[in-house]
């Protein structure tokens, strides 16, 4: 079985970290999600995951010793098979790739020597996997950026990246659900909402979902933005595969 | 009229806090909650609230509040200069306010965060199962002038013997003066060389001008060549080492994930101690032994 080699680490008094050495991949993600599901059945704890790690925090009601807990974690990991990956939601996110909407667009294109057309093609082509959420409420960490779009993070971060900004930094691309400081290049803007605390499900995305960007022009952007101001517009969601 | 209090003056940074927001870290939502959990729980215990009842947390300079109902209350945490009308109010002592009374809280003279617990607790709608303030989960980050806050039904004095007697108050609150923080190894502790480990274990550190509910950064810098990590989970009390060589101790409003090496992890008690430290205060670390895995690393059979 794959992914049996795991480093188990007690973090402070009440949390446990399970770490894998493997590279992040959709396959590893499906395995982590399955491990999380199995852990959740047995432990009263809050369990989150990132690229190659699972964290159990506030592990409660465990009258078990640390050693027994560790043995149990290993048993659960050993008996886990990855979730089947046949169906997943795709969230389609409209992006206006124009310099009035992406303040770093010009400098970004210059730095990576691509035309706007090439950038749009390379950025809208992949199906990005939502790996997990972190950094800001509803901020999705995405996997799948074309390596021709990689760029070092900006040496001086922007103090205010606007809500809805679509940006690239390092090997990652993402979309800011709220205003925030940030060190990535802003290449465009999406007029839709990615996080709304008043909704039953504040974020439309869950780990394992896909995101696909599509290009819109300024007129369409204005229209969607006005609509979004009246009532929050989440991305259009379709089911992929199955 | 509903039992309530009104904020007459907000103080420096006064927010509404309970134990925190749990179960939403997978959406990137911070825990929040009272920074000094010990002081918050002591306050609630003294007025016979449930331990996680909602309180006011103030920083450096407290608020002024008017009671619109008769209620018992207590202030805990940093030593505070306060008055109820003309009466001087001491920390950790229960008082009864009458409708119309004004509680005027001024400077904190020792520590930096204080708590007001009112019998019955502050009553507000939950947002994602917690009342703790955090933007954009709640609309505002701190209380506002003229804000009215409802108070629940008091159970103070309803049970004989339910009142907590503090035999030795100084014992319960002495942690506020402590400056040694108990820490455990963080997941990336192994990346530190011997010199660095000794430095951490033997030096005294200073709180920089960056200290808030998200993180406390230390002033001292250490040059190092430890690379950033793949973004991993972090929790309150995690100490990250920034590329510029500063230690950043994450507190209750911290992000849920981070890319800096996690070198140490504070004990629960140490988070309360640090919650009472402000700029230029000194701290040092006491490292507890690691949990030793019963397995060799990476080998399961």
Note the pLDDT of residue B300.
37
Token pair for A231: 């009532």
**Residue A201 neighbours by CB under 8 Å, 6+ apart:** none
Plot region of B140 (φ>0 → left; ψ -120 to 50 → alpha; else → beta): beta
* Range 4-23 of B in CB contact (< 8 A) with A: 22-23
How many Å apart are CA A88 and CA A56, to the nearest integer?
25
Residue B277 has pLDDT above 80, yes or no: yes
β-bridge mates for residue A204, sequence order: none
How many Å apart are CA B32 and CA B235, to the nearest integer?
11
Q: Is B16 exposed, middle or buried (0-12, 13-18, 19+ CB in 10 A)?
A: buried
What domains sit in chain A, N to C, each tagged with a CATH number?
6-78 (3.30.1360.40), 87-241 (2.40.100.10)
Note the pLDDT of residue A155.
78
User: Which pTM does this prediction carry?
Assistant: 0.93
| Phi and psi angles of residue A133, each rounded to the nearest 5 degrees, phi first | -120, 145
Note the pLDDT of residue B157.
80
Do the beta carbons of residue A92 and residue A212 sit within 8 Å?
A: yes
User: Residues in chain A with pLDDT < 70?
Assistant: 1, 61-62, 242
Interchain pair B294, A67: CB under 8 A: yes
Q: Is A182 exposed, middle or buried (0-12, 13-18, 19+ CB in 10 A)?
A: buried
Give the three-state DSSP class for A223: helix
Do the beta carbons of residue B54 and residue B124 sit within 8 Å?
A: yes
| Phi and psi angles of residue A37, each rounded to the nearest 5 degrees, phi first | -60, -45
Residue of B nearest to A15 (CA): B235
CB of B230 within 8 Å of a chain A CB? The answer is: yes
Write the pLDDT tens digit of every residue in B44-55: 999 999 999 999
Do the beta carbons of residue A74 and residue B51 sit within 8 Å?
A: no
Helix orientation angle between A66-78 and A26-42, rounded to the nearest 10 degrees: 130
Note the pLDDT of residue B299.
41
Do the beta carbons of residue A143 and residue A205 sit within 8 Å?
A: no
The HSE-up count of residue B251 (CA atoms within 13 Å, CB side) is 21
How many Å apart are CA A12 and CA A58, to the nearest integer?
11
- Tell me the domain boundaries of chain B: 4-175, 178-287
Note the pLDDT of residue B298.
42
Interchain pair A9, B256: CB under 8 A: no
Mean predicted confidence (pLDDT) in B269-289: 96
Interchain pair A7, B237: CB under 8 A: no
Interchain pair A50, B232: CB under 8 A: yes
Write the pLDDT tens digit of every residue in A79-105: 998 888 778 899 999 999 998 999 999
How many Å apart are CA B272 and CA B39, to the nearest integer?
8
Residue B159 has pLDDT above 70, yes or no: no
Note the pLDDT of residue A158.
87
From first CA to last CA, the distance across chain A in angstroms is 25
Instruction: Quote the CATH superfamily of domain B178-287.
Output: Cyclophilin-like (2.40.100.10)
- Residue B301's pLDDT band (boundaries 50, 70, 90)? very low
How many Å apart are CA A59 and CA B70, to the nearest integer?
40
């Amino acid at each position: 079985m794959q992914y049996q080699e795991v480093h188990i680490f007690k973090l402070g008094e009440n949390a446990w970290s399970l770490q894998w050495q493997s590279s992040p991949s959709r396959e590893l993600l499906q395995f982590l999600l399955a491990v999380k599901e199995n852990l959740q059945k047995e432990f009263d704890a809050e369990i989150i995951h990132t690229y190659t790690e699972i964290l159990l925090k506030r592990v409660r009601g465990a009258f078990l010793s640390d050693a027994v807990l560790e043995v149990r974690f290993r048993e659960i990991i050993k008996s886990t098979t990855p979730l089947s990956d046949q169906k997943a939601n795709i969230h389609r996110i409209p992006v206006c790739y124009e310099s009035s909407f992406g303040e770093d667009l010009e400098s970004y294109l210059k730095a990576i020597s691509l035309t706007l057309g090439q950038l749009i093609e390379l950025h809208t082509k992949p199906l990005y996997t939502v790996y997990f959420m972190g950094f800001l409420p509803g901020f999705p960490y995405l996997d799948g950026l074309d390596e021709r779009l990689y760029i070092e993070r900006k040496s001086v971060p922007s103090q205010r990246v606007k809500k809805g900004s679509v940006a690239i930094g390092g090997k990652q691309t993402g979309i800011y659900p709220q205003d925030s400081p940030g060190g990535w290049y802003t290449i465009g803007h999406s007029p839709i909402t990615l996080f709304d605390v008043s909704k039953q499900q504040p974020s439309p995305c869950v780990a394992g979902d896909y995101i696909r960007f599509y290009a819109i022009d300024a007129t369409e952007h204005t229209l969607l933005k006005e609509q979004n101001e009246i009532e929050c517009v989440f991305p259009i969601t379709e089911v992929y595969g199955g | 009229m509903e039992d309530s209090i009104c904020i007459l003056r907000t103080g420096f940074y006064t927010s509404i806090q309970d134990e925190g927001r749990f179960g939403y870290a997978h959406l990137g939502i911070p825990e929040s909650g009272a920074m000094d959990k010990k002081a918050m729980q002591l306050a609630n215990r003294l007025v016979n609230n449930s331990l996680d009842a909602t309180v006011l947390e103030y920083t450096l300079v407290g608020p002024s509040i008017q009671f619109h109902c008769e209620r018992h209350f207590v202030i805990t945490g940093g030593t505070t200069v306060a008055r109820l009308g003309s009466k001087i109010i001491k920390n950790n002592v229960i008082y009864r306010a009458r409708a119309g009374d004004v509680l005027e809280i001024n400077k904190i003279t020792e520590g930096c965060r204080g708590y007001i617990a009112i019998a019955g607790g502050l009553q507000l709608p939950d947002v994602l199962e917690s009342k703790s303030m955090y933007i954009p989960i709640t609309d505002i980050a701190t209380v506002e002038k003229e804000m009215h806050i409802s108070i629940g039904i008091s159970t103070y004095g309803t049970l004989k013997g339910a009142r907590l007697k503090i035999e030795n108050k100084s014992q319960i609150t002495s942690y506020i003066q402590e400056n040694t923080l108990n820490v455990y190894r963080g997941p990336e502790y192994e990346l530190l060389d011997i010199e660095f480990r000794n430095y951490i274990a033997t030096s005294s550190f200073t709180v920089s001008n960056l200290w808030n509910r998200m993180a406390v950064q230390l002033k001292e810098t250490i040059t190092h060549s430890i690379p950033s990590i793949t973004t991993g989970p972090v929790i309150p009390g995690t100490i990250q080492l920034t590329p510029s060589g500063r230690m950043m101790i994450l507190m209750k409003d911290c992000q849920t994930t981070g890319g800096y090496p996690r070198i140490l992890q504070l004990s629960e008690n140490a988070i309360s101690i640090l919650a009472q430290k402000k700029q230029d205060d000194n701290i040092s670390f006491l490292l507890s032994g690691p949990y030793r895995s019963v397995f060799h690393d990476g080998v399961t059979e």
